[in-house]
């Protein structure tokens, strides 16, 4: 056993020696020996040496080790005269391998000596050694109170030379922000806009969301100052780059196999220090170092990622933007995104209560066939989001607008069919960009949602077919609705209510609508008209389900509505079916409706677009500097009118009529009043509405992919109608092409239309007067020849966005026939 132990020890020593020699060859090839007159062609200090990247240098180092090539000796310029006590101290502390960490003072001391000698090779070697060592970085740049005892003895005036007070940190941060005037202005604007929410801490829950300081042992301000001083030297920049390349694999191994963060939380210092390097966005870093470093960062345990995110959330807008721009080029910047969210205006409270479906004793088709439903437990949750206790939905205003995180070049080339497969099937082993939805635009995400919906439809169809074979019953694989135009609400309500009660899963089948007495076959166009007719009926002010605000052109739930919950559920189902079947609706809701659909209650800030008059009144109440109680004479009892115009009162608090609103309790009054208007007064109607919406979308990735404003875009489409973009993407058939006279006349005619006629044309051709997500350029319209000159009107196949256009003999006739067709178009027939 002794011989075996001795043999193992010798093997370890040989391996260590071999590793040491290979490292020396690598450094000689990447950094050189420091001798400006070196003649060794295999040394980076040699005048004619061709620089190598880190991969080539590593391979070459192995080759040199195998043939035992001679190494360069340390150049004498690296040492200094013995009679200089500072130089002796330098040689002792910095050139010896026993020194394993750096401080700001040490760096400046070496730099001063190097500047005096005009030889930076000693500092380059020190930077290379410390910044390539995990242990060295963990111990470096500690805060004054945590510095190694030896450091305090050697540098007794550290605090006097480089104090690290809060005032100085603020001063330094202010200087950073001054570098980017746009960011400074935006920060100021954000603070001004946040004053209302800040004054409403009790109302919006913001007191719960202000994060305290994140304690780390590294002196971040000192690290920034060191980088600012050293990165102006090109050779220093190369040293940092090479060190990071060498550091990353070792750190990755530590995190993968040794659980180093659990035993030493200060291991996070490595990532904090590296990320303060302002040159990380340069092409050299992005090509050689950052991809591996990002992979290395992904190995950090969840608590470490959360701590890093909280720390970054307290950085200035400029620092967040720099990291965003760096990582955007590498895609993997989830931490920066969540830091941006945490650093913004948060409201983690005011969440809508989730309605849990009561367990059913009846077996579903899937259970009978031994299959489980997809996403049975709802949409996936990002583990980091769960660890941080915050969602994107909780952030009303981030430090940097969400739109700036979108990577447009990626969206232009992303193969969504493959990415969707990774997202749904191989999520554990394959990376999907949909797991980072903030880098995708709404158009790309809508395509992913389309794939998900289609797969769900096919799944329902397959399960129905299998069940029919097993049970011998002929079930309909589609969601078929047969309705009468003059009784569309009654017919749709009865049919959909029966489906919702018997088997809600049928709502996720592909929709086919048939109008009684009409021959149209639903390939999408009939469904579009069905949705539009239902909405026109439901939003008719005479019915009283919704109120209409002339100033905002928006609808809101009518609190005293006499309609039963089933009709509000029908509206929710219609919105869900529209998303599920890729249809655009002409719906005019304020943004708070979509926030509530996604799970957030309405608050005072939401009144700005839903009830602007009340919002302005409440804002004036909050800003009033006089005696609120005497001048305004408001109590905690409010008055409204019912459906018949009679006044009704509501106490915001018990005995509200006896509690006057004063300066001390006006925030509470505003909070309770907003909660009543947006939540309590319409609770019955909205719950039914949301229930219907979730019947269709509860298994969809909608909530994890889209923000409320994107859900509105998904349902309502874009209001920006760019007909030039439509012209660019239109295809032609039947003998037409873009150079035909009739086609040129057609586009000149359409471009001359007013806004209303353009919307009528879209309605006639596509079944909706809105542009799809991404604009009209994403709409694939076809113009096909429909015979020679004739008196017949143009016709369309709205299912396929196809316009059948006769070859009229004049531009005037074309315009007259087209206007008549789009003005009086209604109903479906067979050609």
Question: Could you tell me which residues are beta bridge partners of residue 648?
Answer: 640
| DSSP designation for 372 | P
Instruction: Tell me if 208 sits within 8 A of 349, measured CB to CB.
Output: yes
User: What's the number of CA atoms in the CB half-sphere (13 Å) around residue 190?
Assistant: 18
How many other β-carbons are positioned within 10 Å of the β-carbon of residue 563?
Answer: 16
Which among 725, 724, 723, 703 has a CA at the least distance from the CA of 714?
A: 703
Residues 6+ apart with CB under 8 A from 485: 515, 516, 533
The one catalytic residue in 72, 296, 716, 799 is 799
User: What's the number of CA atoms in the CB half-sphere (13 Å) around residue 271?
Assistant: 29
Taking only Cα atoms into account, the Rg of the chain, rounded to an integer number of angstroms, comes to: 34
Q: Please classify residue 351 by burial: count the beta carbons closer than 10 Å to its beta carbon, then call 0-12 exposed, 13-18 middle and 19+ buried.
A: middle
Backbone angles phi, psi at 276, to 5 degrees: -85, -5
What distance in Å separates the CA atoms of residue 678 and residue 30, rounded to the nearest whole number? Answer: 65
Tokens 């082993």, residue?
429
Instruction: Tell me if 242 sits within 8 A of 30, measured CB to CB.
Output: yes
Which among 649, 650, 707, 641 has a CA at the least distance from the CA of 675?
A: 650
Question: Could you tell me which residues are beta bridge partners of residue 480?
Answer: 512
What distance in Å separates the CA atoms of residue 499 and residue 476, rounded to the nearest whole number? Answer: 12
Query: Is the four-CA dihedral 566, 572, 576, 578 of positive or negative sign?
Result: positive
Residue 81's alpha-carbon distances to 78, 86, 108, 123, in angstroms, are 10, 10, 20, 17
What distance in Å separates the CA atoms of residue 144 and residue 151, rounded to the nearest whole number? Answer: 9
| DSSP designation for 256 | I
Q: Please classify residue 412 by burial: count the beta carbons closer than 10 Å to its beta carbon, then call 0-12 exposed, 13-18 middle and 19+ buried.
A: exposed
Q: Residue 92: helix, strand or coil by DSSP?
A: helix
Tokens 């952030």, residue?
395
Q: Please classify residue 387 by burial: count the beta carbons closer than 10 Å to its beta carbon, then call 0-12 exposed, 13-18 middle and 19+ buried.
A: middle
Backbone angles phi, psi at 805, to 5 degrees: -120, 115
What distance in Å separates the CA atoms of residue 383 and residue 704, rounded to the nearest whole number? Answer: 12
Strands 511-515 and 546-549: unpaired
Instruction: Tell me if 350 sits within 8 A of 601, measured CB to CB.
Output: yes
Estimate to the nearest angstrom the gap between the alpha carbon of 11 and the chain centroid: 51
Query: Hey, what's the torsion of the CAs at 343, 346, 348, 352, to 10 degrees?
Result: -140
Residues 6+ apart with CB under 8 A from 718: 770, 771, 772, 773, 774, 775, 776
What distance in Å separates the CA atoms of residue 702 and residue 594, rounded to the nearest whole number? Answer: 12
46 as an active site residue: the answer is: no
Which among 76, 92, 75 has a CA at the least distance from the CA of 84?
A: 92
Query: Is the four-CA dihedral 9, 14, 15, 17 of positive or negative sign?
Result: positive
Residue/partner pairs of 78-87 with CB below 8 Å, 24 or more apart: 78/34, 78/119, 78/121, 78/122, 78/125, 80/113, 80/117, 86/113, 87/113
What distance in Å separates the CA atoms of residue 613 and residue 620, rounded to the nearest whole number? Answer: 11
Residues 6+ apart with CB under 8 A from 625: none
Q: Residue 128: helix, strand or coil by DSSP?
A: helix
Known catalytic residues are 799
């Amino acid at each position: 056993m002794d011989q075996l132990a001795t043999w193992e020890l010798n093997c370890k020593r040989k391996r260590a020696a071999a590793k040491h020699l290979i490292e020396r060859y690598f450094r000689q090839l990447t950094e050189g020996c420091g001798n400006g007159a070196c003649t060794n062609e295999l040394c980076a200090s040699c005048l004619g040496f061709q620089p190598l990247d880190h991969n080539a240098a590593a391979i070459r180092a192995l080759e040199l080790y195998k043939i035992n090539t001679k190494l360069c000796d340390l150049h004498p310029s690296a040492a200094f005269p013995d009679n200089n006590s500072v130089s002796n101290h330098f040689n002792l502390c910095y050139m010896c391998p026993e020194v394993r960490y750096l401080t700001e003072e040490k760096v400046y001391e070496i730099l001063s000596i190097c500047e005096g000698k005009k030889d930076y090779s000693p500092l380059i070697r020190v930077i290379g050694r410390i910044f390539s060592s995990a242990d060295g970085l963990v111990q470096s740049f500690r805060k004054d109170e945590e510095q190694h005892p030896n450091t305090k003895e050697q540098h007794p005036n550290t605090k006097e030379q480089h104090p690290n007070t809060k005032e100085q940190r603020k001063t330094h941060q202010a200087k950073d922000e001054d570098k980017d005037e746009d960011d400074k202005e935006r920060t100021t604007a954000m603070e001004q806009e946040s004053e209302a929410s800040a004054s409403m801490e009790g109302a919006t829950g913001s007191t719960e969301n202000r994060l305290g300081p994140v304690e780390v042992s590294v002196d971040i301000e000192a690290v920034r100052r060191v980088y600012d001083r050293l990165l102006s030297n090109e050779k220093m920049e190369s040293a940092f780059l090479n060190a990071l390349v060498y550091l990353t694999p070792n750190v990755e191994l530590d995190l993968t196999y040794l659980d180093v963060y659990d035993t030493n939380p200060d291991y996070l210092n490595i990532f904090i220090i590296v990320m303060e390097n302002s040159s990380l966005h340069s092409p050299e870093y992005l090509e050689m170092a950052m991809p591996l470093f990002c992979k290395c960062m992904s190995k950090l345990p969840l608590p470490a990622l959360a701590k890093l995110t909280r720390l970054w959330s307290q950085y200035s807008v400029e620092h967040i933007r720099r990291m965003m721009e760096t990582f955007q080029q590498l895609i993997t910047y989830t931490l920066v995104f969540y830091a941006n969210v945490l650093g913004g205006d948060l409201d983690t409270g005011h969440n809508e209560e989730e309605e849990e479906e009561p367990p059913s004793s009846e077996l579903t088709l899937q259970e009978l066939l031994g299959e489980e439903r997809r996403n049975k437990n709802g949409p996936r949750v990002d583990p980091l989001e769960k660890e941080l206790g915050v969602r994107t939905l909780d952030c009303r205003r981030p430090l940097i607008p969400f739109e700036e995180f979108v990577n447009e070049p990626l969206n232009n080339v992303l193969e969504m069919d493959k990415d969707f497969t990774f997202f749904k099937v191989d999520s554990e082993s394959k990376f999907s960009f949909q797991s980072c939805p903030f880098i995708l635009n709404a158009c790309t995400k809508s395509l992913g949602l389309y794939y998900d919906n289609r797969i769900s439809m096919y799944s329902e169809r397959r399960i129905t077919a299998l069940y029919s074979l097993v049970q011998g019953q002929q079930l309909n694989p589609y969601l078929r609705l047969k309705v009468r135009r003059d009784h569309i609400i009654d017919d749709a309500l009865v049919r959909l209510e029966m489906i919702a009660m018997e088997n809600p899963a049928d709502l996720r089948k592909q929709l086919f609508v048939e109008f009684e007495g009409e021959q149209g076959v639903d390939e999408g166009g009939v469904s579009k008209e069905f949705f539009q007719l239902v909405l026109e009926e439901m939003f008719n002010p005479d019915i009283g389900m919704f109120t209409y605000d002339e100033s905002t052109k928006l609808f809101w739930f009518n609190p005293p509505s006499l309609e039963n919950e089933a009709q509000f559920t029908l509206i929710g189902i219609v919105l869900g079916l529209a998303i599920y079947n890729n249809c655009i609706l002409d719906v005019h809701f304020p943004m708070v409706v979509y926030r509530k659909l996604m799970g957030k209650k309405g608050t005072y800030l939401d009144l700005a677009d839903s009830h602007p008059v009340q919002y302005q009144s409440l804002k004036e109440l909050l800003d009033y500097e006089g005696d609120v109680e005497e001048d305004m004479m408001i109590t905690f009892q409010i008055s409204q009118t019912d459906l018949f115009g009679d006044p009704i009162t509501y106490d915001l608090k018990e005995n509200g009529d006896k509690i006057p609103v004063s300066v001390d309790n006006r925030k509470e009054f505003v909070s309770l009043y907003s909660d009543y208007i947006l939540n309590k007064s319409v609770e019955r109607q909205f719950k039914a509405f949301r229930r219907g919406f979730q019947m269709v979308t509860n298994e969809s990735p909608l909530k994890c992919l889209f923000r409320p404003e994107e859900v509105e875009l998904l349902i309502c489409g874009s209001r920006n109608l760019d007909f030039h973009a439509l012209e660019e993407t239109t295809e032609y058939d039947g003998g037409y092409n873009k150079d035909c006279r009739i086609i040129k006349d057609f586009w000149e005619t359409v471009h001359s239309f007013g806004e209303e006629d353009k919307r009528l044309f879209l309605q006639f051709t596509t079944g909706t007067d809105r542009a799809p997500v991404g604009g009209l350029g994403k709409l694939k319209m076809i113009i096909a020849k429909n015979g020679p000159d004739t008196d017949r009107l143009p016709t369309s196949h709205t299912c396929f966005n196809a316009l059948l256009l006769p070859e009229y003999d004049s531009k005037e006739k074309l315009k007259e026939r087209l206007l008549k067709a789009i003005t009086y178009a209604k109903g479906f027939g067979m050609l």
